[in-house]
Copies of this chain bind each other. A is one copy, B any other.
Amino acid sequence: MGKRNTQLSLGAFLQATGHHVASWRHPDADADAGINFAHYKAVTQLAERAKFDAIFLADGVAVRDRAANLEALSRNGKLATFEPLTLFSALATVTERIGFIATASTSYNEPYHLARQFASLDWLSDGRAGWNVVTSGTEAEALNFNREHHFEHATRYERADEFVDVVTGLWDSWEDDAFGIDKESGVFFDQDKLHVLNHVGTHFSVKGPLNVARPPQGHPVIVQAGASEPGKELAARTAEVIFTAWQTLEEAQAFYADVKGRLARYGRSPEQLKVMPGIFPVIGRTQQEAEEKYQLLQSLIHPSVGLALLGGLYGGKDLSGHPLDAPPPPFPDDTNGSKSRLKLVRDLAEREGLTLRQLYERIAGARGHWTVVGTPEHIADQLQLWFESHAADGFNVMPPWLPGGLEEFVEHVVPILQQRGLFRTEYTGRTLREHLGLARPGNRHALSVDQASATLQTA
């Protein structure tokens, strides 16, 4: 059922001033990036010139920083930014090929709204939209949506599962050729090519049809990022791209084999799900220069910020009394937040015997993602190794600061990947699906006569 792509995919994971927690303090950073459209336009066009598959935005429906105090919060430069779907709609008009993957929560949205806005973005961009399906795991978000507590982990995933089905069902409301538009006869669409969803489930009752035509890609690309058991099952059943966070090749390989192995159960082949770990690259002409650049960023982290960030993983614990140069206090066994993130950080602390300060510095930089500090060749070698070792189909590049961190990757790392034949030198497709090597899904209602007959017999 298809082959593995011979080239890797690249996404640019943009955060206002970059991924490092102190990125806004970097001398080159556009500190007002969060509400500066010219900034996003420039970095998106830069990623497009480098032939990236897509840019990616995370999202949350609250000021989610779990800082124990307002003093720490006031040092966070990423709290107040554009909303992803509106920002991407604007960016679609100033680009031609690059894809747009927007995160949107299934916990505090309604499927009709998201199906509609993603379909609209797909039309505005001529087939370049993707949806990163997440659940909301913070109390801060619950409190903005009429709840006292957020949904339990299992409920969140059950709701997400049904949510995705409703959204993809709504995208199939109209067949691709439903709109005949015959001015002469006055018939705008073919009655037989409109399908009413009539979904009635545990969490949602949605009749449909959607009031947007079927998207150019059929379905915008479905992306998933959770690494818990229900997250992996959701990905195996519905996702086409999975964003992950791994520190080591071995862990990444194990995860890659795990999720690819789950696909057959859903009648899917390994090529239908692309695994894209995050990489936080710090690039220097020499290893020493790269280390110095990293240290510059780390030196900008105020201790109150580092402790607040880490405190979130402890379930909101205030760590400010704990000595910075001693081992971190014991981790909780479980929280109702992101289980996969907690495990990652605990494993890191134990494996490397880090102090509290060292741990927050590691988290603060790439927040648990794979940090590679070195020359362009070293970074390209690592990407090649992970790609060829079946640890990754591509990478979600997380620039430490913007625009400089992305500029350096584009100028120095991308050309090496291209010289090695590992990355495209020109776009060959027009849609995000085509960039990623994903097939365009057929409409579930537009079955062939044979398929329809088979369906009737098994019903």
Contact = CB atoms under 8 A, between A and B. Distances in A.
Interface string A151-191: 00000000000000000000000100001010100111111
Interface stretch (A72-80, A269-277, A283-291, A345-353): A72-80
Contacts of A320: none
A86 B113 CA distance: 12
B144 A188 contact: no
9 contacts: A35-B123, A63-B211, A70-B194, A75-B187, A79-B189, A83-B116, A87-B89, A89-B90, A108-B112
Contacts of A119: 83
Interface residues of A, number: 76
Contacts of A186: 22, 25, 75, 300, 302, 305
B24 A174 contact: no
A42 to B, nearest CB: 13
Interface stretch (A201-209, A218-226, A231-239, A249-257): A201-209
Interface in A121-143: 121, 123-124, 140, 143
Interface string A70-112: 1101111101111101110110111000000000000011101
B206 A86 contact: no
* From A85, A208, A211, A305, residue with most partner B Cβ within 10 Å: A211
Contacts of A61: 112-113, 116, 211
A186 B303 CA distance: 11
Interface of A: 22, 24-25, 27, 31-32, 34-35, 37, 60-64, 70-71, 73-77, 79-83, 85-87, 89-90, 92-94, 108-110, 112-113, 116-117, 119-121, 123-124, 140, 143-147, 174, 179, 181, 183, 186-191, 194, 204-213, 300, 302, 305
Given A75-B187, A93-B93, A112-B145, A212 B80 contact: yes
B143 A207 contact: yes
Given A83-B117, A188-B77, A35 B89 contact: no
